[in-house]
Chain A
């Protein structure tokens, strides 16, 4: 790692003030950022630690919504009785990110802000039609995620929380890349007031996306048999773990499994 200064932020306003310094960068659980720094793929002048900010640590289930603070760890989401009762698919998703030691540190805000093309949480945000709360205001997930590692946030802005509308039913199915436990392909399906949503992670070179052809088909008949044939392989990720065609095929398979599990 290149050298940097480290500062724990006590509040959101503290963090935003500290992030005004040139090349300062936020760190939350650090489970992605620290390996990135070790590989010298980033050289921040300072890391501003958001993980101890009390106002970003709550979980509220009320008024048909589950609101999770940005600094809440995956394990806390997985264990939360209110989340398990309201959106079991979300608790289950959190319970299968990485491994236990990673889940004790990694946070929802970090995952959402990083928007790794294979991360699990972005698919839940998009698949449930969540609202992303940030220091730049509230944004619909549909506008927030803007491609691989890209979001609507600019440097110096942070994700402070996520609100998920409670669906009628939902399920997340992940085909894991066995070494990293990232999603080779993961599909989050929900049916609720906003209709049917199908969000896919791990597959596209443009990051998490909604598979609208499947949404339309499932809106007519919510059954695994309604899932259309695999989407085109164009623009799908191809690497040593799987070809674009393989990933495209998995999108349809995992969507069927998710619908069945709903």
Chain B
């Protein structure tokens, strides 16, 4: 067992893990942060996407011990402490960017990563950036719409109501 410590959503946390403990297991089973989902467990579906040191990674495809000393952000860190949704989350709600919601934490985290890198993505860039996030309900259309709307809001532009 190895002792690890990291910052998760701004809070210092620590725990004892095996070498083979995945970051997603540490977040869900050790810290009780079950917002990060395990969909495929093979690194393909993207339901487990979190940010590690500011970049999106698949938490089912990274060892917990490898994140020792890192700053991790999960879906639980997106809304304000009083529960006010982040701009991206609010846009998913507004534009019906989810149905069953299982993929949504990963979608939101990938969207946040995209908008950190590119404040004004085209629709094609949004679709390309989501290639590692699989959704079996929405057909992606409203997810893309939500992310484009969130980008516009974050740029300070008024978004036309439909």
Residues of A in contact with B (beta carbons under 8 Å apart) = 1-6, 8, 27, 30-31, 34-35, 37-38, 46-47, 49, 51, 75, 98-102, 104-105, 179-181
Contacts and interface: CB of A to CB of B under 8 A. Distances in A.
Contact of B132 (A1, A27, A101): A101
Interface of B: 2, 18-20, 22, 41-44, 46, 49, 52, 55-58, 61-63, 65-66, 68, 110, 113-114, 129, 131-133
A99 B52 CA distance: 16
A5 B1 CA distance: 8
Nearest 8 A/B pairs, CB to CB? A99-B132, A6-B19, A104-B55, A1-B20, A101-B56, A6-B65, A99-B131, A4-B19
A6 B61 contact: no
Given A6-B65, A181-B131, 11 more contacts: A3-B18, A3-B19, A30-B61, A34-B22, A38-B42, A99-B131, A100-B56, A100-B113, A100-B131, A101-B57, A104-B57
Contacts of A179: 44
B110 to A, nearest CB: 7
A34 B60 CA distance: 9
Given A2-B20, A31-B61, A100-B129, A8 B43 contact: no
Contacts of A27: 63
B20 A102 contact: no
A99 B46 contact: yes
23 contacts: A4-B19, A8-B68, A27-B63, A31-B43, A34-B22, A37-B20, A46-B19, A47-B63, A49-B63, A75-B55, A99-B46, A99-B131, A99-B132, A99-B133, A100-B56, A100-B113, A101-B46, A101-B56, A101-B110, A101-B113, A102-B61, A104-B52, A104-B56
A102 B19 contact: no
Contacts of B63: 6, 27, 30, 34, 47, 49
A102 B55 contact: no
A30 B66 contact: yes
B132 A98 contact: yes
Nearest to A1: B20
Contacts of A1: 20
A211 B142 CA distance: 45
A51 B66 contact: yes
B132 A35 contact: no
B62 A105 contact: yes
Given A8-B68, A104-B56, A34 B43 contact: yes
A100 B132 contact: yes
Contact of B49 (A30, A101, A180): A101
B132 A105 contact: no
A101 B19 contact: no
Contacts of B129: 100
A192 to B, nearest CB: 30
Contacts of A51: 66
A75 B113 CA distance: 13
Contacts of B57: 101, 104-105
Residue among A34, A37, A98, A180 having the largest count of chain B Cβ atoms under 10 Å: A34
A35 B56 contact: no
Contacts of B55: 75, 104
Nearest to B56: A101
A30 B62 contact: yes
A27 B56 CA distance: 19
